[in-house]
Amino acid sequence: MDRGRMKILLVEDNPGDARLIQIHLAEAGMASSVLTHTDRLAEGISCLRETDFDVVLLDLSLPDASGLETVTRMHQAAATRPIVVLTGLNDGAVAREALRKGAQDYLIKGQIDSVLLVRAIHYAIERKQAETALRESEERYRDLFENATDLIQSVGPDGKYIFTNRRWRETLGYSEDEVARLTMSDVLAPECHDHCRQLFAGLMQGKQADCAEAVFLAKDGRRVFVEGNLSCSFKDGKPVGTRGFFRDITKRKQAEAALRTVQQRREQLENIVERSPAVAFLWRTDERLTVDFVSSNIGQLGYEPEEFLSGRVRYADIVHHEDRDRAVAEAAKHVAAGASEFVQEYRVLTKSGEIRWVEDHTWVPRDSEGSITHHQGIIVDITERKRAEAEIAQKNDELARLNALKNQLLGMAAHDLRNPLTVVSTASSLLLDDVSRPLSVEQKHDFIRRINANSEFMLKLIDDLLDVAKIESGRLDLEPATGELCSLIEENLTMNRMLAEKKRIQLDFACERGLPPFRFDRGKIEQVLNNLISNALKFSEPGTAVMVRVSRVNDSVVVSVCDQGQGIPTNELDRLFTPFSKTTVRGTAGEKSTGLGLAICRKIVEGHGGRIWAESELGKGSTFSFSLPVAVDESQASDIMSPKRPDGNHASRGPSVARGRGHCLTGVSRRKERG
């Protein structure tokens, strides 16, 4: 702006005053300035719209406006133009008021001279420029302040808000008027009152707070998490107000909380998995079955998850080598068939090399295109189940065997009872029918004798069958007690000697001296002795001899019963000790055999931990022997109490210690039957 050539608008209805202004301007060397004169406010305002005046000289008393209203209207129409008010002598108070309504200066008519006029014009222009600059500057700062993304606040020492920015108010939902009525503690969440009070006290003493966190309560009760820097401004050493710049970190806090929840949930789930017997796996679909995750309860197999994750241990390596190919092929078959899950059983090796059975449930998630993304699965240790299954299978086998044996025994019994029953029934019929078909006394006596003998045989058969059934089902029930074997044999011989004498058979006994007493079941061993001795008598011809010997062989006592019968074919020796295996040989006096006696003997002897066997030479005789252990320690004693499982047609041909003894007697050869 050229100070000498300014554009000046003069709004003055008094022509004299207007003229005077022109004169003052000329005097001041401002003749080249353009002075536009108008005597109405409305006209002046319209001039301002057309021309960019540097300054407005405004009389307050105009025909269309007067007083302060004149200034107000002019200022509204041209806020950026400097205004110098021209007033009358008595209007000093109005003139000062005009300054507050937008005028920059005033001149009192009658006191105006050229110097004063020019100075007022210049002053008004300068002041307007300064005001404009200040306003613009303030607007810039206000704009920054109001539009800052931070929440900005200032709180006075009394806790009341001095100012807040728009973001602050928008975030917390308060209007400016409402903020004016708030105190700091209204906005802070209860849980941070104490902390913030301490912080505030610190600020009042000149401390600063960086990255302080707080929770604000919005007007609607929302909790707003903030983080920011705080300090306090002082004037003359006294605190004026705090400056606080906060960022809204609610979303971050919520995300953190959500993450914490997820982590907690993950920890809970991991805890559950850890306590579960199932080991969880995530495998990649590569050939190595790379493990991406394994739950730490893999420890039950002795491994650390890290060993799998690092690839030091490959999953395929822990699968038992005999099961590996099968398991891989089976899995591939399931996957190829489009299965989404499948179950397998195979063995794995623990880190210490122990073999465990596992059940593997694998799921095969596929993406939208049907490609397999990975394998996920659990493996459960089923070793105990497998063991139980094997046990059950073994028990089933045992039951099936016992059942088959029972059926066999029943069949045999049915068969072997039919012959004696035929004798009893036919002979008794004949006796009853004595009237139509008279019988001699000898015949009657013969029939009665046959009925009696066959009845006794049936009784014996039933007893033996019950014995066999009991023994085969594992209930041998031995009652061992320390006893003396030779005296038992003596007692038995006394009984059998009557039968021997009847058949004119010599019965001899030789017992080695100094045999120690040992533990055996007296009743059961007597059963064995009686069976062997009565068998020998049964198959011996009159005039021959039967010899019973007892001797010590190593840790056993061996009892042998030798006869001079016809002997037994070698191919039949093996079958002697199995149930119902009668031989072709017959009792010399027509004695019958149940075919069970030797089978029972074998069970009893084996139950004692001993052996039973037979040797024979056709035409010379047979020797039946059994051994009983004398040195019985605790472990063998318990063994004695649990009879061994029968192993089919096992041939008890005797231990080598007693073999080769040959026949203690030689004798005549006759046909006979063993059983």
Partner 1 sequence: VTNLQPRTILIVDDEEDIRAVLQACLEAAGFHVRTASSGIDALERIRSDPPDLIVHDIMLPDITGLDVCALVKRDRRLRRIPFILLTARSQPQDRLTGAALGADAYLNKPFNPDELLAKVRRLLAGCEMTDGRV
**How far apart are CB 322 and partner 1 at their closest, in Å?**
45
Task: Compare residues 344 and 583 and give the one whose CB is closer to partner 1.
Answer: 583
The residue whose two tokens read 């899995």 is: 331
The residue within the footprint of partner 1, chosen from 254, 426, 487, 636 (CB under 8 A), is 426
**DSSP output for 11-80:** E-S-HHHHHHHHHHHHHTT-TTSEEEEESSHHHHHHHHHHS--SEEEEESEETTEETHHHHHHHHHH-TT
CB contact set of 501 (below 8 Å; sequence gap of 6+)? none
Which segments of 259-315 are extended strands (E)? Answer: 278-283, 291-294
Task: Compare residues 255 and 448 and give the one whose CB is closer to partner 1.
Answer: 448
CA angle 587, 591, 597 (to 5 degrees): 90
Task: Compare residues 114 and 443 and give the one whose CB is closer to partner 1.
Answer: 443
Piece in contact with partner 1 (CB under 8 A), picked from 42-50, 427-435, 499-507, 633-641: 427-435
Task: Compare residues 231 and 443 and give the one whose CB is closer to partner 1.
Answer: 443
Piece in contact with partner 1 (CB under 8 A), picked from 103-111, 280-288, 431-439, 485-493: 431-439
Task: Compare residues 493 and 589 and give the one whose CB is closer to partner 1.
Answer: 589
The residue within the footprint of partner 1, chosen from 233, 396, 584, 642 (CB under 8 A), is 584
Contact 278, 379 (CB under 8 A): yes
**How far apart are CB 415 and partner 1 at their closest, in Å?**
5
Q: Is 441 near partner 1 (CB under 8 A)?
A: no
Pairing mode, if any, of strands 621-629 and 611-617? antiparallel
**How far apart are CB 582 and partner 1 at their closest, in Å?**
8
Joined tokens for residue 87: 């007033």
Q: Is 415 near partner 1 (CB under 8 A)?
A: yes
Task: Compare residues 353 and 590 and give the one whose CB is closer to partner 1.
Answer: 590
CA separation for the pair 410, 407 (Å, rounded):
5
Piece in contact with partner 1 (CB under 8 A), picked from 91-99, 254-262, 422-430, 470-478: 422-430
Residues 102-161 that bind partner 1 (CB under 8 A): none
**How far apart are CB 596 and partner 1 at their closest, in Å?**
17
Task: Compare residues 153 and 454 and give the one whose CB is closer to partner 1.
Answer: 454
- Return phi, psi of residue 621, to 5°: 135, 180
Task: Compare residues 579 and 610 and give the one whose CB is closer to partner 1.
Answer: 579
Piece in contact with partner 1 (CB under 8 A), picked from 15-23, 272-280, 330-338, 438-446: 438-446
CA 485 to chain centroid: 65
CA separation for the pair 382, 359 (Å, rounded):
6
**How far apart are CB 557 and partner 1 at their closest, in Å?**
36
**How far apart are CB 405 and partner 1 at their closest, in Å?**
19
Instruction: Look at the alpha carbons of 153, 157, 160, 163 in this order and tell me if their dihedral is positive or negative.
Output: negative
The residue within the footprint of partner 1, chosen from 418, 445, 502, 650 (CB under 8 A), is 418
Q: Is 427 near partner 1 (CB under 8 A)?
A: yes
Residues 590-609 that bind partner 1 (CB under 8 A): 590
Piece in contact with partner 1 (CB under 8 A), picked from 153-161, 187-195, 441-449, 462-470: 441-449
CA angle 248, 254, 255 (to 5 degrees): 110
CB contact set of 562 (below 8 Å; sequence gap of 6+)? 536, 546, 547, 548, 549, 621, 622, 623, 663, 664, 665
Q: Is 414 near partner 1 (CB under 8 A)?
A: yes
**How far apart are CB 446 and partner 1 at their closest, in Å?**
7
Q: Is 420 near partner 1 (CB under 8 A)?
A: yes
Q: Is 421 near partner 1 (CB under 8 A)?
A: yes
Q: Is 430 near partner 1 (CB under 8 A)?
A: yes
CA separation for the pair 96, 613 (Å, rounded):
148
The size of the interface with partner 1 (CB under 8 A), counted in residues, is: 26
Please report which helix (H) or strand (E) contains residue 349, including its range. Answer: strand 341-349
**How far apart are CB 430 and partner 1 at their closest, in Å?**
6
CB contact set of 162 (below 8 Å; sequence gap of 6+)? 154, 155, 156, 241
**How far apart are CB 673 and partner 1 at their closest, in Å?**
9
Which segments of 538-620 are extended strands (E)? Answer: 545-553, 556-562, 611-617
Q: Is 425 near partner 1 (CB under 8 A)?
A: yes
Cβ neighbour number for residue 375 with a 10 Å cutoff: 21
Residues 444-483 that bind partner 1 (CB under 8 A): 446-447, 450, 453-454
Piece in contact with partner 1 (CB under 8 A), picked from 124-132, 194-202, 415-423, 610-618: 415-423
CA separation for the pair 71, 84 (Å, rounded):
10
Helices (H), 473-484: none
Q: Is 422 near partner 1 (CB under 8 A)?
A: yes
Q: Which residues, listed in sequence order, are joined to residue 279 by a DSSP beta bridge?
A: 379
Instruction: Summarize as ranges the residues that interact with partner 1 (CB under 8 A).
Output: 414-416, 418-427, 429-430, 433, 437, 439, 443, 446-447, 450, 453-454, 584, 590
